[in-house]
Structure formats: C-alpha cells, structure tokens
C-alpha cells in the first residue's frame, strides 16, 4: 500500500511509501494523523494550505459485509475544525485495490479551470471538466461513466461544491452507479471545489485486493463475523425498514426534531415512519425497493429505492431517517414522496440533507416558508441551484442562515447542524454533539439504544464517551455503524480480522484504542485551530427552552462535558 499525493496547482503526483507512524492507522484515524502532521490548524479551509484526504479504513478492500467505507476529510469550512465524513459505495474499495492507503489532494490552482482527476494503475491524469461544470451529480455521473467505463468509482461534487457552499458534501457512486453515497457533513465538497476538482474517477482495473498476512485466519474470522451479523435481529429490521425505522423510536423518546426543534414529537409521525415507507414501496413498481445494498457484499442492505408513484422512475436512493427527520418532521412535512423529492434535489446539488433541512427550519422561523409547505421547500432548494443570494445563504447551512436572519433558535454545535435526535430528549447524544471534535453529528456517537433513561442528565457522559470511542474505531476500520450488530456478538473478530490482515497482535481493546487515538488526534488539531471547552456546548437556548412534551432542557453539567476525554 502507498500514499498517493496529487498537487492541484502543479498537476504533479507522487506515490510514496507509507510512513511507519501511519502503518496501522486507517480511515478516520489515519486522516486525523495526516491532518495533525501536515495541515496548519489555523489555515483557511478553502485556501491552498488545506488538504483533502481520502483514506479507506483498515479493513477495506475485502468485501467484508458493510466494511468497505471511505473516510474523506480535511479542515472543515463549516466548523473550522477537523472533519471526517465517511460514505459507503465504491470509492473505498476501488482505492484500496489500487494499493492506495491514503489519497492526499493538495494545494490550489492559481488559474481556475475545473478538472477531472482520473486515477488508475498507470497513475494520475488531469482533464478539463468542460461541460460537466454546473451539472448536478446525476447528470455528471452518467457522463463520467460513459467516458471512463461502467466499473469505475467516482467521488464528485455537485453545483454546491463548485460555489463553495459550506453544506456541500462529496458524492460517491453506489454499487448501482448512482452518485448518492455522500460524505455529507462539514462542507468537504467546498474544499474539493476550492481545489478546482469536479470529480475524481478511480479505475481499479488491473488492481488487486490488499495483501492479507494470514489468509486462513482472515477467512475464518470473516465467517464468524458474518454469521454473527446475519443472525442479529437488528439486521433483519434494517433490511425491512431501513434507518427510517428510527422515526417511531425517536418519536417515542420525544426526541424527533419537529418544526425547527420546537417539539420532540410529530403528530403525523406514522406517515413518515419505517412501516409506512415499507408499505409504500411494496405498492410501487419494480424499481422501488424496500431493501438495497450500497456496497457489494453487504448483508444488512439497509438502503432502499424510492420510485415515483406514477411512472416508477427512481426518485431517490436511499431515503434515510436523518433526511426524514430534518426535511420531514423538522419542517412539518408528513409526506414521504415530498421528502423524497426534496432529498433528490439536495443530492443532485451535492448537499448535506441534514444541514439543509436544519437551514430550512430556520427559514420557516424567519417567515420564508410555512411549516408543512413542501412546494415552498423545493423552491427554496432550487434557489441554491440558481445561486440566488437566498440560495447561497441556505446552502451555507443553518448557522449562517440564522445569523443572516437574526434567528436565535438555531440547532447547531460548532456551526454544524444537529441531526435527528434532539439533545434535550436523548441527552447522551447531546453530549456527543457537544463534545465530538466533529461538531454536532450523531454518527460520532449515537446513544439512543443505550440502556439509560435518556432524559436524565446523570450517566450520559459515560454513555457518550463509550459510543464516541467505538464509532471512531469503526470509522478507522472502514466499518459501517451497522457492522456493530455483528461485532457486538463477536467482538473478538475485530482484532482477529486486523491481525490476520496485517500480521499484528492487537488485543480485544483494539476498537476503543483506535477510537481513542483518532479522537485524541482530532482534539489536538482542534485545540491548535483555536477550539476550547467553550465550543463544546449545545446551543444556549437548548439549556433554557424546554422541549415539549417532556419539557426537558439540556442539563448535563458543563464540568462533566469538559472532562469527557480526560
């Protein structure tokens, strides 16, 4: 495996040995290490000193179920701290088959002509992006596949990344060549845009699976992991209902963001919950799918495909809980087809649906739309496409929208929108939002399944810390959060797989050790970037304004927050 560096100013690339200190790091942890080693923490995130890093996880490249994820990161223009966003799809797998342990995109062109970077076993080529510039990801991906072939992986930005909006993510192809596996959070699409890159096309032809030190042990551990995974009851539930299953659960805990986080329950929750989604998709034509895999080899298949009720054309894949929460209940919208159309639109623009959902919640608060008005929501998103001033504001996310419109009730931490678990109702996840180096992000440590009363302040810091360390570990392996269904029942398979792959002898604590190292590096970067405990807070109004119906505020003591990683 090698480190590939591409300079976007000189258009030169280099293929280098992996430094010893990077060898047993991968994904999120490796990314954090590279950032600490190479990126000045106070740099302008959209300037030449920031880097855009692609790092497959430690176990990527073997079609282990839900274990081929790609970590993408850099300094976030949204949070101004370190950012790792990961995604399924093909990108991680293809990079690993070219022997790429990390791809580091550097510098910034002086003259701005949009480029496509293509990577294959011969090396790196630049090509002018031409008519692809300005195109949405659905159209542009189709053109790229025509140009580069059916089997490539693509990481690309939509129009939102081109104009450096802070809610812009990086879209990756799924196994069906749909560019909808987005490394969504923190504005990494703007970082890619700031380097003048519309798309990175990865052709792994002639490549090969990363080397395995002890193939027999690896095969045996894989088997144990897979059996544990497929036998876990949640695996079936996620196959049937997808993440949308979370809507009823979260509503039951009164933590479902509703009408700009003013309520924790949505009276129409049944219309947007997993059961309804499944029932709706079963009635649709053959293009609709209740279960679907984003990566080849996944046994869980939590994804889905929503097709149009009329012509059965695909609208969006997948429709996920976070989008349902932020663009549904948070906007007072109770129609899954409306939410799916909003989702398609933000996907095509290359935007984070959580951030835009939260920004639209602020837009409601500011009188720019009424809660429940899906047509107006679609109009507002289209303003992002047409680059109107309002569109640019919304496309920069909830915090800026709140600032521009003078709204106090803005649900962000470190400028990043809170996802679909209200921190006043699910307080452990609130602790994660507050203290994660990533800003508000449920994937940094969701606690909704922890055995704790979610509305009590006591014990939440420990629950969040455990979740954060585990998740940072999974993100370093390249593991989807749902692989934890398997690892929960066969935890020894984590070190067994890594040891078989690398010839190491890590013990049972490997997952948390990887997580701790990643988080420590991230905190080091953020500290040097100017973050302090003052940044580790939920919005002040959430400590004051009670959330109906439980009427709880966020009241985990600040001293506890500040000592979470001591």
The verdict on 408 binding its own copies (CB under 8 A) reads yes
Stretch that binds its own copies, among 54-62, 177-185, 226-234, 523-531 (CB under 8 A): 523-531
By CB under 8 A, is residue 231 in contact with its own copies? no
Residue 140 beta carbon to its own copies: minimum distance, rounded to whole angstroms: 20
106 binds its own copies (CB under 8 A): no
Nearer to its own copies, 82 or 119 (CB): 82
Lay out the site mask for its own copies across 185-214 (x = CB under 8 A, - = otherwise).
-----x--xx--------------------
What is the C-alpha separation between 194 and 61, in angstroms, rounded? 29
Site map (CB under 8 A) of its own copies, residues 345-384, x = contact: ----------------------------------------
User: Closer to its own copies at the Cβ: 273 or 393?
Assistant: 393
Which CB sits closer to its own copies, 205 or 408? Answer: 408
Angle at 169 between CA 31 and CA 81, to 5 degrees: 45
Buried b vs exposed e over 211-237: b needs ≥16 C-beta within 10 Å? ebeeeeebeebbebbbebbeebebbee
Considering only residues 23, 63, 127, 392, which one is a binding residue for its own copies as defined by CB under 8 A?
A: 392
Q: Examine residue 41 and tell whether it contacts its own copies (CB under 8 A).
A: yes
* In the complex, minimum distance from the CB of residue 260 to its own copies, in angstroms, rounded to a whole number: 16
Name which of 273, 269, 268 is nearest 242 in CA terms.
273
- Which of 23, 47, 555, 565 is in the footprint of its own copies by CB under 8 A? 47
Does residue 557 interact with its own copies by CB under 8 A?
A: no
Residue 290 φ then ψ, to 5°: -80, -20
Cα dihedral angle (42, 21, 172, 221), rounded to 10 degrees?
-150
Taking the least distance from each CB to its own copies, the nearer of 313 and 532 is: 532
Task: Give the torsion sign (CA, 378, 181, 176, 481).
Answer: negative
Is 230 a binding residue for its own copies by CB under 8 A? The answer is no
DSSP letter at 132 equals G
Alpha helices (H) along 437-545: 460-477, 484-489, 492-502, 510-529
Min separation Cβ 256 and its own copies, Å: 25
528 forms part of the interface with its own copies (CB under 8 A):
yes
The residue whose two tokens read 């060549």 is: 177
Taking CB under 8 A as the binding criterion, the range among 150-158, 210-218, 328-336, 538-546 that sits at the site for its own copies is 538-546
CA 165, CA 161: separation in Å to the nearest integer?
6
Under the binding rule (CB under 8 A), the answer on residue 9 touching its own copies is no
Nearest in space to 230 (alpha carbons), one of 350, 64, 9, 22: 64
| Residue 406 touches its own copies, criterion: CB under 8 A | yes
Instruction: Name the minimum Å distance from CB 431 to its own copies.
Output: 17
Q: Is 9 exposed, middle or buried (0-12, 13-18, 19+ CB in 10 A)?
A: middle
Shortest spacing between CB 410 and its own copies, in angstroms: 9
- Distance in angstroms (rounded) separating the CA atoms of residues 547 and 422: 9
Select from 18-26, 128-136, 143-151, 526-534 the region that touches its own copies (CB under 8 A).
526-534
523 by DSSP, 3-state: which? helix
The minimum distance between CB 47 and its own copies, in angstroms, equals 6
Which position among 396, 416, 419, 499 is part of the footprint of its own copies (CB under 8 A)? 396
- Contact between 114 and 198 (Cβ < 8 Å): yes
* Segment (H or E) for 31: helix 27-38
In the complex, which residues of this chain contact its own copies (CB under 8 A)?
41-44, 46-49, 163-166, 190, 193-194, 388-390, 392-393, 396, 400, 403-406, 408, 528-535, 537, 539-541, 544
């Amino acid at each position: 495996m090698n480190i590939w560096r591409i300079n976007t100013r000189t258009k030169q690339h280099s293929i280098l040995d992996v430094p010893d200190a990077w060898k047993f790091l991968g994904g999120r942890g490796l990314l954090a290490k590279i950032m600490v080693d190479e990126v000045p923490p106070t740099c302008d995130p959209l300037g030449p000193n920031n880097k855009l890093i692609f790092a497959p996880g430690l176990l990527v490249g073997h079609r282990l179920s839900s274990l081929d994820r790609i970590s993408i990161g850099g300094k976030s223009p949204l949070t101004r701290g370190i950012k790792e966003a990961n995604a399924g799809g093909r990108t991680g797998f293809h990079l690993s088959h070219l022997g790429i342990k990390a791809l580091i995109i550097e510098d910034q062109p002086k003259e701005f002509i949009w480029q496509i970077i293509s990577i294959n076993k011969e090396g790196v080529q630049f090509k002018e992006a031409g008519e692809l510039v300005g195109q949405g990801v659905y159209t542009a991906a189709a053109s790229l596949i025509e140009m580069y072939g059916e089997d490539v992986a693509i990481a690309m930005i939509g129009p939102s990344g081109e104009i450096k909006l802070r809610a812009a993510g990086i879209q990756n192809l799924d196994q069906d060549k749909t560019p909808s596996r987005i490394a969504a959070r923190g504005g990494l699409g703007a970082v890619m845009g700031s380097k003048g890159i519309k798309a990175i096309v990865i052709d792994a032809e002639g490549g090969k699976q990363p080397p395995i030190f002890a193939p027999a042990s690896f095969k045996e551990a894989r088997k144990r992991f897979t059996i544990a995974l497929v036998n876990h009851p949640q695996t079936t539930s996620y196959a049937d209902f997808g993440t949308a299953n979370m809507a009823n659960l979260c509503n039951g805990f009164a933590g479902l963001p509703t009408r700009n986080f003013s309520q924790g329950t949505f009276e129409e929750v049944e219309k947007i919950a997993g059961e309804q989604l499944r029932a709706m998709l079963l009635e649709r034509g053959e293009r609709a799918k209740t279960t679907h895999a984003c990566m080849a080899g996944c046994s869980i298949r939590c994804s889905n495909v929503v097709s149009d009720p009329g012509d059965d054309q695909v609208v969006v894949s997948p429709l996920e809980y976070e989008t349902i929460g932020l663009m549904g209940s948070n906007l007072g919208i109770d129609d899954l087809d409306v939410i799916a159309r909003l989702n398609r639109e933000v996907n095509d623009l290359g935007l984070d649906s959580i951030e835009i959902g939260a920004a639209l919640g602020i837009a409601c608060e500011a009188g720019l739309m009424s809660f429940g008005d899906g047509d107006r929501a679609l109009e507002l998103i289209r303003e992002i496409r047409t680059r109107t001033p309002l569109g640019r504001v919304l496309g920069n996310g909830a915090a800026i929208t709140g600032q521009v419109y003078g709204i106090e009730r803005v649900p962000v931490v470190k400028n990043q929108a809170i996802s679909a678990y209200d921190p006043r109702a699910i307080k452990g996840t609130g602790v994660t939002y507050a203290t994660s180096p990533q800003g508000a992000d449920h994937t940094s440590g969701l606690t909704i399944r922890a055995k704790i009363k979610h509305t009590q302040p006591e014990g939440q810091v420990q629950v969040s810390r455990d979740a954060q360390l585990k998740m940072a570990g999974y993100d370093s392996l390249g593991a989807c959060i749902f692989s934890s269904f398997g690892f929960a029942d066969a935890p020894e398979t984590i070190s067994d797989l890594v040891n078989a792959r690398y010839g190491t002898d890590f013990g049972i604590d490997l997952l948390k050790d990887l997580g701790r190292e990643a988080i420590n590096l991230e905190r080091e970067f953020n500290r040097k970037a100017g973050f302090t405990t003052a940044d580790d807070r939920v919005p002040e109004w959430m400590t004051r304004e009670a959330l109906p119906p439980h009427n709880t505020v966020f009241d985990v003591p600040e001293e506890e927050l500040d000592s979470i990683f001591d």
